Amino acid sequence: MEHEAYLEMAAVEDRHWWFRGRRAILRSVISKLQLPAQARILELGSGTGGNFAMLSPFGSVTAVELDETARQLSSSKTTTVTDIRAGSMPDDLPLGCQKFDLICLFDVLEHVEDDAAALAVVRGRLAAGGAAVITVPAFAKLYGPHDVALHHKRRYGRAELAEKCRQAGLEVAKLSYANTALFPLALLVRLADLLLGRRRSSGNALPPVFLNEIFAAIFSAEHHVLKFMNLPFGLSLLAVLRAAPEKG
């Protein structure tokens, strides 16, 4: 991502409906994982630190982020996470021999050129009984200005993500679409961007307050449904993964 994109993210991620809705869903999913007290948590690609307050109640958080601007922004806005390290996936993780009870990649995998190798790294860093929670953008045909602006390498299909996880030695405990209720509206926005040749997605900006609150409530409410079932379509994919038993 560009320097300006991180500045924009830091400015809006506490308020923007998409970040708020995603955090509500992730908080609900993580709360069901039966993590140990003071779990060892790793957030890979932690950006500007918008998830730290959500993750910290579950345990001690270590964060890894490639971009220096993002690390500086996250350090300046948090008192809950002090272990923020420079690094990238899959080959430059400054973690020694550490393993973790929970590994988080929230809209990160799509930025990594070798996503298969990155998933294998996740498998190798999971402690016994640990879990990984991953979100990625869904549907390759929706790839457009929004993805280009954010330096996405790809968007994922459900079967594609599941197979890549299995090949990396990860068992899929849950795999669902998310951001389903707002999918038709988002689809119209993305199609308009493509047809009009826009270089930046018109969906990046913070909408008017009343719309922002409505969208946040709609997106957040999906966590109630995801407790009981998987959603059939949506702008994102959400995966909960466990380490598969070693072969042989």
The domain spans of the chain are: 3-243
- Only one residue has tokens 């498998």, namely 123
Length of the chain counted residue by residue: 248
Which residues are CB-neighbours of 185 under 8 A, at least 6 positions away?
Answer: none
Instruction: Identify the CA nearest to 213 among candidates 21, 23, 9, 51.
Output: 21
Which residue is associated with the tokens 């995801």? 226
Of the candidates 125, 156, 159, 151, the residue with the CA atom closest to the CA atom of residue 139 = 156
Q: Could you tell me the two tokens for 122?
A: 């996740």
d(CA 204, CA 149): 10
The CA-atom distances, in angstroms, between 139 and each of 30, 98, 129, 143 are 25, 34, 31, 8
pTM: 0.92
Residue 2 contacts residue 33 (beta carbons within 8 Å)? no
Task: Tell me the sheet residues that pair with 138.
Answer: 156
| Dist CA 60 CA 37 (whole Å) | 10
How is domain 3-243 classified at the CATH fold level? Rossmann fold (3.40.50)
DSSP H or E stretch at residue 43: strand 39-44
Task: Single out the residue of 169, 175, 190, 153 nearest to residue 237, CA to CA.
Answer: 175
Q: List, run by run, the mean pLDDT of 10-residue segments along the chain (248 residues).
A: 73 93 98 95 95 95 94 82 90 92 98 96 96 96 83 95 97 97 85 68 76 96 97 97 80
Q: What is the model's pLDDT at position 151? A: 87
Give the closest residue to 139 by CA, choosing from 186, 74, 201: 186
Please give the DSSP secondary-structure letter assigned to residue 59. E
Q: Give backbone dihedrals phi and psi of 134, rounded to 5 degrees, phi first.
A: -130, 140
| Nearest partner of 27 among 143, 106, 94, 120, judged by Cα | 106
For 84, the token pair is: 């923020």
